[in-house]
């Protein structure tokens, strides 16, 4: 069975040399004399840790070397900075160094804020390398030196904090102290993440319970945050910053030691003028007088340079020739006539065709030509605008004008005006704005102007839609020189105009169309309503962009315009025409005033507190975030990204006709596809950048990234969607990805290289080879640790073929044994149960399944344990499954939400499974953890039954501990009382978070018969007493420390841990959460109602 931790223990990229290592070479190495010994890199329960050296040897003449503590918390867990903030505990190491050696302080990278409820903590949820400079005395010319230490740290997630520790060591030979080329990049990267020490003047003062900190700056600093290194100088819940003549001033509430601290270091994190993240290390001294005077006396600071930040790279796509682009543009323009955006204009042109059916051939042709010229002029203007904007660096695309609320307002008012004209409310004469007479006035001159104006209008309202074939053509056009781009845009315009142009030249037009007559007046009125519908849609877009209040103002502008036009129409046959004209002018002024003030009522968009963007049918949408999408792709998470806009009718039609349907929702949800909405209603440069990556200049765009894909290999769906089109596209992409990934090669490569890497490194360290030989072997034979992600993707693809692949069983074992994701493990476990129910590795695989999947979390996993416990042919397998199944049943006993009748059933089942599980196999080895020596199954049974004694329903043995005043007290002193035991620490964020709830419990329940007993596992007693100065805990308190026998006796691991013991000494609850369920149980127990 391959050796190694649950997760990838490094995550570092392989060197080109290591990538080229063939499987044959690997197997040859496996056949050599290397001996398997324990690896330097270690797995704890929630972390990966290692000790590495920058130098390949220690300098014989003395000097210094730098060691690095590599610490990587598991996903969703985090470690802490030197000042952890409101909660947490920093990484520390107790060195055990040979005589003459000395270790400097640990050097941390710049932290980031990790909010936790009402607290702010400082730390890291990513892998870090903490550096320590080691002073080396003069050494003998020969011999190896072991440098070791005991590292301790705390990792927390949102519910639990766990102290962890590891014995770390590294052996280095005496030599010239030269740099190890394999580790040099890691140390270089670690130093790059450390804040740069600067001499910028900085002072602080303590005034009226606040600490004010002034920092002189050489340049602008955006989004600044100050991480104060000294504990208890400030409180961390709220920090404000303000610009001052000297730079920045930060303010925070004073901590408990603010009056006694004379100076501190701090890390200032900020964004520079280029948007790049920066961090600097400051020395801050207490000011002698007022802060402003102290900063003025300190003087200015010289300007420092700032680096540039890189942008997202483009994606190479298949090229498109000019002729092809022009053809697609022409074809797309023709199809654009069928898009919903152009419907109102087509209504007008339908009326125009009827009018022209009775006109002479010359007038009809002239109308078609001028309509075409108007369209071509509009497309040329849009093309030129887009080219100019892009050359100027602006992110603009097809339909960009619709991203402006004022443009949409103007178009909406224009639609209202046209609709009222069609409805006969008013008529304009030839001189009005040079646009021609009414839309139905006879005369060749008026008809030409009307046709030209209609062509312009058709393009303006067509831009919210994108027809098939248009996207590729426009994407090609805007990547070419201006002349080529203009040619493609004109081809698109010609396509839009072509149907009407051909009809206008048709010789039999008069025979095809009905004869003009009085019925046309009614048709003209009917056609006013599509225009009003378009206007309503445009005003809705304004509301989506600016808010409901702005939409109301836009509708007021439309009402004022309608009043003005009605008054103007009344003047046509009135005796007092000037009065009506004045009335119309007043309405027009009101329209203008309302229009220019529409943005004054803008509602600023609220920043989403999470990724959710609501629901679309059965699909749960996420807001578009490029980093999150790339993260999903990198993790192998299938993701569907659709680019849309509220002004894009094609987008909305696709959403309702396809994406919002139950069929598509069910298909995506069954496949676990994340759905991301990229809303381009308002300008968003990040979305524009992604559109350009896929050679698009507008929306809609639909991308699907199946498991195993990259950002460059998305499946691009058509621009017109139906449910089956979407489902078929996803199926095709998934099938192609599965077949492409279903190769055992990546798994074998990972397993071989993982084993070889550890064997070679361990053998090199233990060998007597010279430094030069060790360096050569590290460079040629070891290399960095391989990445597990490609192997995981390949294993899932093999399993997905339902046994058709010859290595299905091996792939299933890999998923259960090597991966850390519960979903991946479930896939592997179910496949293994189907194809190899008696596989020899089941005992260790069951440990991993039990560790990663809680009982009741996945029914399929629970059923698998039960099936193996009952039906496995190997008695050791049955015993192992019974062990884990009993443990899982007892965890359900301890679950506070378990009903009393179910609890007894689970307890009985747990004891039935545990008792006698080792019968017949008592001396067989059994591993409950990968990193522990195996027990016998008999020992495992005894330990399991012993832990059951302290579960819910059991009793606690008496113990003695020290109170905070130094006196001893036994647990028996609390006999006949209901006691809530609270195992906690000052560095435990969830523990500190629970204090208000504990205080509320203490105040709400009677003193007679109920007691809280908080048991601190902090290293020092004075840490607890100082903490309680600001955070009073007015109930019983013990201090036992982190290594107390009580923790082992009562089986306590992880903090906070709460045990509720009733007046009869029976444990009623054992949990990590002080939630409403536990509070209610406490109240029932105090009142004698616990079941």
Asked if 508 and 387 sit in the same domain, the reply is yes
Question: Is 819 part of a structural domain of the chain?
Answer: no
pLDDT confidence of 800, banded at 50, 70, 90?
Answer: confident
pLDDT confidence of 107, banded at 50, 70, 90?
Answer: very high
pLDDT confidence of 233, banded at 50, 70, 90?
Answer: very high
User: Is the pLDDT score of 849 beyond 70?
Assistant: yes
Q: What are phi and psi of 424, to 5 degrees?
A: 80, 15
Cα 366 to Cα 333, 380, 504, 1058, distances in angstroms: 21, 21, 8, 88
Q: Where are the alpha helices (DSSP H) in 701-744?
A: 723-741
Asked if 643 and 736 sit in the same domain, the reply is yes
pLDDT digits (tens, 9 = 90+) for 672-683: 999 999 988 877
Cα 227 to Cα 73, 264, 406, 819, distances in angstroms: 21, 11, 44, 36
Q: How many domains does the chain have?
A: 6
Asked if 112 and 175 sit in the same domain, the reply is yes
Cα 529 to Cα 418, 437, 440, distances in angstroms: 10, 21, 17
Residue 718 belongs to domain with CATH number: 3.40.30.10
- The pLDDT assigned to 746 comes to 84
pLDDT digits (tens, 9 = 90+) for 175-227: 888 999 989 999 999 999 999 999 899 999 999 889 999 998 888 788 899 99
Q: What sign has the CA pseudo-torsion 430, 432, 433, 435? A: negative
User: Is the pLDDT score of 1059 beyond 90?
Assistant: yes
Question: Is 911 part of a structural domain of the chain?
Answer: no
Q: Strand pairing partners for 674? A: 639
Asked if 684 and 620 sit in the same domain, the reply is yes
Asked if 521 and 633 sit in the same domain, the reply is no
Q: What sign has the CA pseudo-torsion 987, 992, 994, 997? A: positive
Question: Is 28 part of a structural domain of the chain?
Answer: no
Sheet holding 161-175, edge to edge: 58-59, 161-175, 144-156, 92-96
Selected residue with higher pLDDT from 1073 and 382? 1073
Selected residue with higher pLDDT from 1010 and 743? 1010
The Cα–Cα gap between 572 and 183 comes to 89
Is residue 318 within 8 Å of 312, Cβ to Cβ?
no
Asked if 574 and 647 sit in the same domain, the reply is no
Single residue among 688, 718, 741 that ends a domain in this structure: 741
Query: Would you call 617 helix, strand, or coil by DSSP?
Result: coil
pLDDT average, residue stretch 366-380: 84
Instruction: For residue 993, give the nearest of 81, 119, 84 by alpha carbon.
Output: 119
Question: Is 43 part of a structural domain of the chain?
Answer: yes
Question: Is 655 part of a structural domain of the chain?
Answer: yes
Question: Is 30 part of a structural domain of the chain?
Answer: no
Is residue 463 within 8 Å of 382, Cβ to Cβ?
yes
Asked if 148 and 208 sit in the same domain, the reply is no
Question: Is 11 part of a structural domain of the chain?
Answer: no
- The pLDDT assigned to 202 comes to 92
Single residue among 741, 760, 780 that ends a domain in this structure: 741
Asked if 356 and 376 sit in the same domain, the reply is yes
Burial of residue 747 (CB within 10 Å: 0-12, 13-18, 19+) is buried
Asked if 578 and 620 sit in the same domain, the reply is no
pLDDT average, residue stretch 325-354: 67
First CA to last CA across the chain, in angstroms?
47
pLDDT digits (tens, 9 = 90+) for 859-907: 888 888 888 888 888 899 999 999 999 988 888 888 888 888 888 889 8
Tokens of 397: 């695309």
Asked if 360 and 425 sit in the same domain, the reply is yes
Is residue 707 within 8 Å of 670, Cβ to Cβ?
no
Burial of residue 1034 (CB within 10 Å: 0-12, 13-18, 19+) is exposed
Asked if 345 and 401 sit in the same domain, the reply is yes
Is residue 1009 within 8 Å of 977, Cβ to Cβ?
yes
Is residue 1074 within 8 Å of 1058, Cβ to Cβ?
yes
Entry pTM = 0.48
Selected residue with higher pLDDT from 309 and 270? 270
pLDDT confidence of 478, banded at 50, 70, 90?
Answer: low
Q: Where are the alpha helices (DSSP H) in 392-443?
A: 405-422
The Cα–Cα gap between 797 and 740 comes to 8
pLDDT digits (tens, 9 = 90+) for 401-441: 667 788 788 888 888 887 888 788 887 643 333 333 344 34
User: Is the pLDDT score of 368 beyond 60?
Assistant: yes
Query: Would you call 23 helix, strand, or coil by DSSP?
Result: helix
Asked if 362 and 414 sit in the same domain, the reply is yes
> Whole-number mean pLDDT of the chain?
80
User: DSSP for 216-237?
Assistant: E-SS--EEEEEEE-STTSEEEE
pLDDT digits (tens, 9 = 90+) for 991-1031: 988 999 999 999 888 888 899 999 999 988 999 999 998 88
Cα 920 to Cα 758, 865, 875, 923, distances in angstroms: 37, 20, 8, 8
767-772: long-range pairs with CB below 8 Å, 24+: 771/56, 771/57, 771/173, 771/175, 771/176, 771/178
Domain with 203 in it: 199-298
Q: Strand pairing partners for 1066? A: 955
Residue 285 belongs to domain with CATH number: 2.60.40
- The pLDDT assigned to 472 comes to 53
Question: Is 837 part of a structural domain of the chain?
Answer: no
The Cα–Cα gap between 896 and 911 comes to 19
Q: What are phi and psi of 853, to 5 degrees?
A: -120, 115
Single residue among 193, 226, 261 that ends a domain in this structure: 193
């Amino acid at each position: 069975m391959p050796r190694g931790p649950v997760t990838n223990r490094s995550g570092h990229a392989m060197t080109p040399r290591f990538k080229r290592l063939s499987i044959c070479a690997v197997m040859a190495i496996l056949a050599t004399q290397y001996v398997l010994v324990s690896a330097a890199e270690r797995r704890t329960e929630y972390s990966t840790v290692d000790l590495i050296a920058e130098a390949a040897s220690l300098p014989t003449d003395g000097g210094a070397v730098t060691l690095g503590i590599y610490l990587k918390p598991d996903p969703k867990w985090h470690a802490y900075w030197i000042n952890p903030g409101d909660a947490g505990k920093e990484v520390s190491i107790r060195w055990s160094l040979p005589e003459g050696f000395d270790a400097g302080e640990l050097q941390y990278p710049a932290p980031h804020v990790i909010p936790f409820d009402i607290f702010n903590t400082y730390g890291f949820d990513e892998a870090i390398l903490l550096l320590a400079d080691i002073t080396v005395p003069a050494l003998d010319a020969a011999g190896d030196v072991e440098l070791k230490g005991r590292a301790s740290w705390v990792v927390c997630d949102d519910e639990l904090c766990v102290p962890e520790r590891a014995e770390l060591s590294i052996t280095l030979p005496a030599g010239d102290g030269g740099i190890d080329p394999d580790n040099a990049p890691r140390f270089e990267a670690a130093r790059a993440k450390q804040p740069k020490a600067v001499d910028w003047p900085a002072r602080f003062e303590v005034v009226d319970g606040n600490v004010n900190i002034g920092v002189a700056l050489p340049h602008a600093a955006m989004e600044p945050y100050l991480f104060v290194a000294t504990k208890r100088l400030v409180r961390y819940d709220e920090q404000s910053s303000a610009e001052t003549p000297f730079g920045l001033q930060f303010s925070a509430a004073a901590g408990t030691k603010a009056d006694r601290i004379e100076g501190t270091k701090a890390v200032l994190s900020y964004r520079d003028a280029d948007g790049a993240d920066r961090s600097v290390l400051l020395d801050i001294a207490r000011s002698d007088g007022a802060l402003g005077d102290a900063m003025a006396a300190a003087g200015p600071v010289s300007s420092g340079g700032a680096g540039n930040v890189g942008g997202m790279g483009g994606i190479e796509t298949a090229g498109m020739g000019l002729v092809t682009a022009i053809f697609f543009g022409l074809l797309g323009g023709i199809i654009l006539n069928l898009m919903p955006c152009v419907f109102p204009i087509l209504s007008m042109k339908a009326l125009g065709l009827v009018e022209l059916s009775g006109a002479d051939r010359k007038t009809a042709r002239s109308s078609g030509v001028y309509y075409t010229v108007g369209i071509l002029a509009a497309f040329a203007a849009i093309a030129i605008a887009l080219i100019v904007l892009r050359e100027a660096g602006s992110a603009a695309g097809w339909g960009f004008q619709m991203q402006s609320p004022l443009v949409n307002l103007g178009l909406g008012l224009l639609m209202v005006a046209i609709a009222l004209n069609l409805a006969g409310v008013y008529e304009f004469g030839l001189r009005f704005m040079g646009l021609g007479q009414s839309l139905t006035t006879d005369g060749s001159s008026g008809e030409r102007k009307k046709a030209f104006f209609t062509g312009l209008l058709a393009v303006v309202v067509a831009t919210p839609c994108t027809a098939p074939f248009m996207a590729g053509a426009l994407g090609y056009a805007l990547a070419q020189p201006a002349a080529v781009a203009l040619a493609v845009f004109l081809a698109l315009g010609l396509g839009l105009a072509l149907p009407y142009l051909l009809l206008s030249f048709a010789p039999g037009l008069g025979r095809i169309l009905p004869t003009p007559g009085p019925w046309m007046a009614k048709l003209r009125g009917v056609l006013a309503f599509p225009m009003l519908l378009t206007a309503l849609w445009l005003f809705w877009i304004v509301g989506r962009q600016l808010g409901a209040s702005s939409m109301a103002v836009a509708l007021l502008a439309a009402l004022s315009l309608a009043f003005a036009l009605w008054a103007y129409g009344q003047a046509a046959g009135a005796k007092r025409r000037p009065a009506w004209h004045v009335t119309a002018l007043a309405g027009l002024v009101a329209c203008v005033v309302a229009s220019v003030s529409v943005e004054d009522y803008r509602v600023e968009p609220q920043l989403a507190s999470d990724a959710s963007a609501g629901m679309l049918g059965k699909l749960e949408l996420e807001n578009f975030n490029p980093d999150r999408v790339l993260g999903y792709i990198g993790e192998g998470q299938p993701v569907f990204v659709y680019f849309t806009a509220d002004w894009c009718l094609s987008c909305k039609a696709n959403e309702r006709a396809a994406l919002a349907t139950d069929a598509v929702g069910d298909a995506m949800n069954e496949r676990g596809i994340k759905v991301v909405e990229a809303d381009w209603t308002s300008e968003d440069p990040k979305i524009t950048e992604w559109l350009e990556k896929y050679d698009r200049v507008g929306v809609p765009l639909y991308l699907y990234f199946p498991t195993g894909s990259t950002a460059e290999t998305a499946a691009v769906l058509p621009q017109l969607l139906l449910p089956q089109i979407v489902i078929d596209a996803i199926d095709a992409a998934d099938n192609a990805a599965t077949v492409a990934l279903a190769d055992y090669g990546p798994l074998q490569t990972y397993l071989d290289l993982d084993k070889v890497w550890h064997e070679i490194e361990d053998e090199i360290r233990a060998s007597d080879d010279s430094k030069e030989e060790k360096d050569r072997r590290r460079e040629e034979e070891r290399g960095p640790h391989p990445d597990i992600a490609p192997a995981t993707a390949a294993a899932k693809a093999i399993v997905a073929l339902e046994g058709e692949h010859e290595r299905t069983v091996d792939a299933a074992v890999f998923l259960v044994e090597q991966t850390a994701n519960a979903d991946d493990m479930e896939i592997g476990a179910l496949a293994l149960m189907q194809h190899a129910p008696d596989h020899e590795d089941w005992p260790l695989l069951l440990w991993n399944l039990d560790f990663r999947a809680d009982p009741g979390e996945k029914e399929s996993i629970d059923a698998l344990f039960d099936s193996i416990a009952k039906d496995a042919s190997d008695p050791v397998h049955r015993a192992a499954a019974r062990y884990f199944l009993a443990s899982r049943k007892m965890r359900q006993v301890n679950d506070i939400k378990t009903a009393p009748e179910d609890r007894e059933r689970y307890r009985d089942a747990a004891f039935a499974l545990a008792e006698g599980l080792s019968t017949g196999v008592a001396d067989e080895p059994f591993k409950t953890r990968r990193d522990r020596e195996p027990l016998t199954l008999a020992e495992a049974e005894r330990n399991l039954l012993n832990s059951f004694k302290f579960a819910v329903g059991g009793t606690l043995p008496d113990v003695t501990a020290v109170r905070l005043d130094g006196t001893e007290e036994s647990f028996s002193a609390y006999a006949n009382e209901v006691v809530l035991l609270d195992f906690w620490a000052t560095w435990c964020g969830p523990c500190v978070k629970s204090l208000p709830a504990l205080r509320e419990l203490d105040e709400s329940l009677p003193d007679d018969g109920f007691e809280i007993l908080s048991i601190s596992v902090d290293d020092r007693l004075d840490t607890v007493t100082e903490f309680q100065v600001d955070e009073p805990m007015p109930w019983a308190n013990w201090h036992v420390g982190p290594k107390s026998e009580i923790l082992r006796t009562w089986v306590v691991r992880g903090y906070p841990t709460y045990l509720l013991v009733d007046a009869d000494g029976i444990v009623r609850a054992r949990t990590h959460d002080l939630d409403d369920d536990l509070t209610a149980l406490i109240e029932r127990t105090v009142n004698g109602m616990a079941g």
